[in-house]
Amino acid sequence: MSKLSSIACAAALALLGGAAAAADWSDTSIGYRYGTKFAEPFNTNDIKKSIVNLNHVSGYAYGTNFFNADLLLSDDKDPGGAGSTAGAQEVYIVYRHTLDFGKLTGSPISFGPIRGAGLTFGFDANAKNDAGYNSRKRMLVLGPTVFVDVPGFLNVSLLLLEESNAPYNTFTNTGVSRYTYKTHPMLTAAWGIPIGGTGLSFEGFFNWIASKGNNEFGGGTKPETNLDAQIMYDVSSAWGSKGKFKVGLEYQYWRNKFGNDHKGPAGDGAFAKTPMIRAEYHF
């Protein structure tokens, strides 16, 4: 965990430093969210989690960068190891880079509701010290993106995923060497849409992820549906610092979490329906 955390911090500092020098625009924030109804496959408990995140998005001459690092802190219903009375800890990192075809060619791509198109690539990586699985996910992504013409932004991508994992079970002290799943597609969308002049915005992302073939233990996987939606209010606009401090409500719907069949042995823990409160400071 500490090694991945160090890598995440180093990557974030390098990214933010470079972005500050080269970006045409940027937005960096730190945030906190909390919920009491998180779920994990093969776990029948409702889990409380606090999540601290660092987020950065910026634009430059040929496209955009997106970076997010979450530190997820569970309560003891999601234990941090065999026999542990402490909750699990997880670091989850996402990076996406989108090349804008219109900016690359100097000829804007615009038709109907589409105001642009590009190519997105990047990676996900995580490390978690939970009792049963201890995920060490690594994933590369690549595919086309279209920019929908709405107030704010709505980007829709069709990405190919190359994912692997190397879990270790602390109950049995056995692990699986790094296993690569079948390459599979993901339809994904991300948005941030202001609601008139109210100070409210509708934000979030949606992922539909196809089955990734057999898992590392030989069992089948299921398609995943992951919706994370937020209604945020710009509190700071009241004192003339628009966009600095936001609070709001968030809801996550995650069916067949990590490809586990929620109607199979993974049970209800593979079907998360999680309300949260959220706050973020932008600088």
Cα-based distances in Å from 164 to 22, 139, 142, 215: 33, 6, 15, 10
Determine the 3-state secondary structure of 226 from DSSP.
strand
pLDDT value at position 175?
A: 82
**Rounded to an integer, what is the distance from CA 48 to the centroid of its chain?**
18
Least confident of 31-35, 116-120, 170-174: 170-174
Q: What is the mean pLDDT of residues 137-157?
A: 97
The more confidently predicted of residues 142 and 243 is 142
Which tens digit of pLDDT belongs to each residue from 250-263? 999 999 999 999 99
Full set of structural domains in the chain with CATH: 2-282 (2.40.230.20)
Query: Residue 1: what pLDDT?
Result: 46
Q: What is the mean pLDDT of residues 44-68?
A: 97
Phi-psi region of 224 (alpha: psi -120 to 50; beta: other; left: phi over 0): beta
The answer for residues whose C-beta is within 8 angstroms of residue 186's C-beta and 6 or more apart is: 141, 157, 158, 159, 160, 161, 207, 208, 209, 210
Q: Is the pLDDT of residue 80 over 60?
A: yes
Which DSSP symbol is given to 150? S
Q: Quick one: tokens of 131?
A: 């009792």
Name the residue with tokens 């909750």: 87
pLDDT at 100 over 80: yes
| pLDDT of amino acid 17 | 52
Answer yes or no: are the C-beta atoms of 133 and 176 closer than 8 Å.
no
**Is 8 a residue whose pLDDT tops 80?**
no
pLDDT tens for 12-45 read: 555 555 554 578 999 999 999 999 999 999 999 9
Residue 142 predicted with pLDDT over 90? yes
Q: Residue 40 is encoded by which pair of tokens?
A: 């994990």
- What's the mean pLDDT in 95-112? 94
Q: Name the DSSP letter for residue 256.
A: S
Evaluate whether 185 touches 136 at the Cβ level (below 8 Å).
no
Q: Average pLDDT in the 53-77 region? A: 97
Q: What percent of the chain has pLDDT over 90?
A: 80
Burial pattern 158-169, b for ≥16 Cβ within 10 A else e, equals ebebbbebebee
Cβ-based neighbours of 123, under 8 Å, separated by 6 or more: 93, 94, 95, 138, 139, 140, 141
Provide mean pLDDT across the span 168-176: 77
Q: Whole-angstrom Cα distance, residue 145 to residue 117? A: 6
Task: Write out pLDDT tens, residues 212-271.
Answer: 999 999 999 999 999 999 999 999 988 878 889 999 999 999 999 999 999 999 999 999
How, if at all, do strands 47-60 and 271-282 pair? Answer: unpaired
Regarding pTM above 0.75, the answer is: yes
Residue 125 tokens read as: 């990586």
Confidence check: pLDDT of 10 > 70:
no
pLDDT at 14: 54
Q: What are phi and psi of 55, to 5 degrees?
A: -130, 140
